Structures are given as C-alpha cells and as structure tokens.
A and B are shown apart, each in its own frame.
Chain A
C-alpha cells in the first residue's frame, strides 16, 4: 500500500493517471503532455507500474499504458487530487541522480 501512496503523492503521476482515465495511451503521447526529460518520465512510469496502478504493453514500436486502479485506489486518487496530497520531494522524486531536467516539485 505504501507504493500506492508514494505513486499518488506526485502531481505528475496523478496527472498521468487522470489522462489514462480517458483510455489507454502510448508512452510517447503521455510524455508529450509534460515538460520533463525522458528519463524522468520513464522513472514516473516505473513508479506507477511498481504500484500496480498501470499496465504496460508493447504494441508494435510503442509502449501503451492503461489504467489499473481498484475502486479504493480510484477514490484515493480523487482524494489526493482534491486535497493536493504530497510527500517530501526526496522520497517522491524518481528522477535519476544524473538527470538535471526536473520540473516536478
């Protein structure tokens, strides 16, 4: 459960989940919506996968993500969106240490 809280604590990851609510999307389309580097975005996807909130699948050359939220996780996401749940940046930021292009708090 702690991995779920960690995943939901970051606004970028919450926005990714919000976008996936509309339907499955490719990693490229999702990343295009954010002003962050590819390694940062990949790390965000990895955190979401680790928490089992999204499922990924390779279709042709693209990696497609689809939502995998239980009702409780869905409610937690709504709660986090409404009340701006966040944790300290040193625990929520998945960016690799050599990546300087970080725009998320």
Chain B
C-alpha cells in the first residue's frame, strides 16, 4: 500500500512539500543553505530531465516523482541534522559529515540511473551512439565522484574533507560539461535506419 502511494502521489503536492521543507530549512538553519541548495540543484536537474526526456506522460511523471522524492529526502535529512546540531545531540562536525555522506549517496544514485534514460531515436537531435557514450561515461563519473564525496566526508581529516569532496564534485561537473560540449559539437553521423 505504501509503495502504491509513493508511486502515485500528486506531483503538485510533492512540489509544495519540497517547497515547505526548503522554507523550514531556511528558518531553522540559513547558514546551511549552500549545502542543501547543491542537493536541490541535482534534484532540479532530475525534474528537468524527466520533463524533457521522459517517454510519455506516465514515464515523465515517474521520473519527476523520483526526483521530488529525492529532494524531499535530502531536505528532511538536512532539517533533521540541523535540529540534532542545535539541540546539541551531536557535534556540528558530525552533522556536517553526515550531510556530506548524504550528498555523496545522492550523487551515486543520480549517476547510477543517468545512463538508463533512453530517448526515442527519432526525437534525438544528436548522434545516438555518441549520446549513449556520453551518458554512460557521465554516469560512471558521477558514481565515482559520489563515492569520493561520501568517503571523504566520512573518513578524511576535518581540514581535508571539504576540499576533497567539493573538488571531486566540481571535477565531475567539469568533465561532464566537457563531454556534453563534445556531444553538442558532434554531427549526427549515426542515422536510425528507415
């Protein structure tokens, strides 16, 4: 029953729920905005990808639901960690590490499913073979970056954790941008047979 609810909840309600969590997060811990806004950007990209690339209304809604669910989970986690720190139940350092691990896991999950978004060949603007290679590589890069991000947040010395995790995230982003630039520059040399 709960699985059915999770796969069918109304999109507008979910969007409003995420929005409410953002506002509560902002009120409780405005200094944490930079950290959770990064997670929200990834969720936003997921919603956009779902809305633009999804095959059919049902598939689109499914992808958007998953992204909103991920965003809500991140916001709820961030809120819980902020409250734990404010109530002195754990040190600020520990909550920061926990959030880093959460962000790393989100990168891993996003990267894992990125190459699984197959688009109709007739709707593709770029060379399908090249697009497939770019998405496969991007997925692997995001997963590896997520592993580094989560591991650095969890185990690296306090002064090294942030440079290592942010460095891994930014490097992955730059490589993926370069790959997509290569995709856009390429001509469509693989035509779908008619």
Give the segment of B31-39, B41-49, B76-84, B121-129 that binds chain A: B121-129
Choose one: B116, B129, B133; the contact of A69 (CB below 8 Å): B116
Q: Which residues of B are found within 8 Å of A60, using beta-carbon distances?
A: 193-194
| Known A24-B132, A59-B121: A71·B190 in contact at CB below 8 Å | no
The reply to whether B120 and A71 contact each other, CB–CB distance below 8 Å, is: no
| C-alpha gap A72/B120 in the complex (Å) | 23
Choose one: A23, A52, A68; the contact of B129 (CB below 8 Å): A23
The reply to whether B115 and A71 contact each other, CB–CB distance below 8 Å, is: yes
Residue of B nearest to A52 (CB): B116
Choose one: A21, A22, A57; the contact of B120 (CB below 8 Å): A57
Interchain pairs with CB closer than 8 A, number: 64
The reply to whether A68 and B190 contact each other, CB–CB distance below 8 Å, is: no
B 128-148 to A, binary, CB cutoff 8 A, 1 in contact else 0: 111011001001100100000
Residue of A nearest to B194 (CB): A60
Q: Which residues of A are found within 8 Å of B139, using beta-carbon distances?
A: 70-71, 74
Closest CB in chain A relative to B35 CB, distance in Å? 25
Choose one: A55, A64, A68, A70; the contact of B192 (CB below 8 Å): A64
A26 within 8 A of B: yes
The reply to whether A70 and B132 contact each other, CB–CB distance below 8 Å, is: no
The reply to whether B118 and A66 contact each other, CB–CB distance below 8 Å, is: yes
Q: Which residues of B are found within 8 Å of A21, using beta-carbon distances?
A: 132, 136
Interchain Cβ contacts under 8 Å between A and B, 27 examples: A21-B132, A22-B129, A23-B190, A24-B121, A24-B190, A24-B192, A57-B121, A59-B121, A59-B122, A59-B193, A60-B193, A62-B193, A62-B194, A64-B121, A66-B128, A66-B132, A67-B118, A68-B115, A69-B116, A69-B136, A70-B113, A71-B115, A71-B139, A71-B140, A72-B112, A74-B115, A74-B139
Residues of B whose CB lies within 8 Å of any CB of A are 111-116, 118, 120-122, 128-130, 132-133, 136, 139-140, 143, 190, 192-194
